[in-house]
Amino acid sequence: MNHNIHKTDIRSLSLDELKNRFLALGEKAFRANQVYEWLWKKSAFSFDEMSNLSKPLREKLNELFVINAVQVNTSQFSADKTIKNTFILHDKHLIEGVLIPTTERMTACVSSQVGCSLTCKFCATGYMERKRNLNADEIYDQVVLIDKQAKEHYGIPLSNIVYMGMGEPLLNYSNVLKSIDRITAEDGLNMSYKRITVSTAGIAKMIKKLGDDDVKFNLALSLHAANDSKRNEIMPINEQNSLAALAEALKYYFAKTKNPVTYEYIIFNNFNDELEDAKELARFCKHVPCKVNIIEYNPIAFADFMNAAVDKTEIFANYLKKQGIITNIRRSRGKDIDAACGQLAVKEENK
Q: Which of 274, 280, 341, 349 is catalytic?
A: 341
Q: Summarize the confidence of residues 334-351 as an average pLDDT.
A: 57
pLDDT(347) > 60: no
Q: How confident is the model at residue 119 (pLDDT cuts 50, 70, 90)?
A: confident
pLDDT(349) > 50: no
Say if residues 165 and 123 touch (Cβ distance below 8 Å): no
Whole-prediction pTM value? Answer: 0.92
Alpha-carbon distances, residue 154 vs 43, 102, 305 (angstroms) = 20, 11, 35
Q: Summarize the confidence of residues 60-67 as an average pLDDT.
A: 96
Average pLDDT of the chain to the nearest whole number: 91
pLDDT given for residue 341 in this prediction: 67
pLDDT given for residue 296 in this prediction: 83
Quick check: is 120 catalytic?
no
Percent of the chain residues past pLDDT 90, beyond the cut: 80
Sorted by where each begins, the domain ranges of the chain are: 3-66, 71-350
Q: Which CATH number fits domain 3-66: 2.40.10.220, 3.40.640.10, 1.10.150.530, 3.30.70.260?
A: 1.10.150.530
DSSP helix/strand/coil, 287? coil
Q: Are strands 83-88 and 94-101 parallel, antiparallel or unpaired?
A: antiparallel
Please, how many CA atoms are within 13 Å of residue 344, restricted to the half-sphere of its CB? 29
Give the tens place of pLDDT for each residue, 224-244: 999 999 999 999 999 999 999
Give the tens place of pLDDT for each residue, 151-170: 999 999 999 999 999 999 99
Give the tens place of pLDDT for each residue, 90-112: 999 999 999 999 888 999 999 99
pLDDT given for residue 339 in this prediction: 59
Give the chain's end-to-end CA distance (angstroms, integer): 27
Give the tens place of pLDDT for each residue, 193-235: 999 999 999 999 999 999 999 999 999 999 999 999 999 999 9
Q: How confident is the model at residue 306 (pLDDT cuts 50, 70, 90)?
A: confident
pLDDT(297) > 90: no
44 or 104, greater pLDDT: 44
Quick check: is 285 catalytic?
no
CATH class of 71-350: alpha beta
Give the tens place of pLDDT for each residue, 277-287: 999 999 999 99
CA pair distance 108, 203, nearest whole angstrom: 23
CB within 8 A of 240, min separation 6: which ones?
Answer: none
HEC string of 82-117 equals CEEEEEECCCCCEEEEEEEECCCCEEEECCCEECCC
pLDDT(76) > 60: yes
Q: Which of 27, 96, 138, 296 is catalytic?
A: 96
pLDDT(351) > 80: no
Give the tens place of pLDDT for each residue, 176-192: 999 999 999 999 999 99
Which of 109, 160, 115, 117 minimizes the C-alpha distance to 139? 109
- In the 8-state DSSP scheme, what is residue 85? E
Say if residues 340 and 83 touch (Cβ distance below 8 Å): no
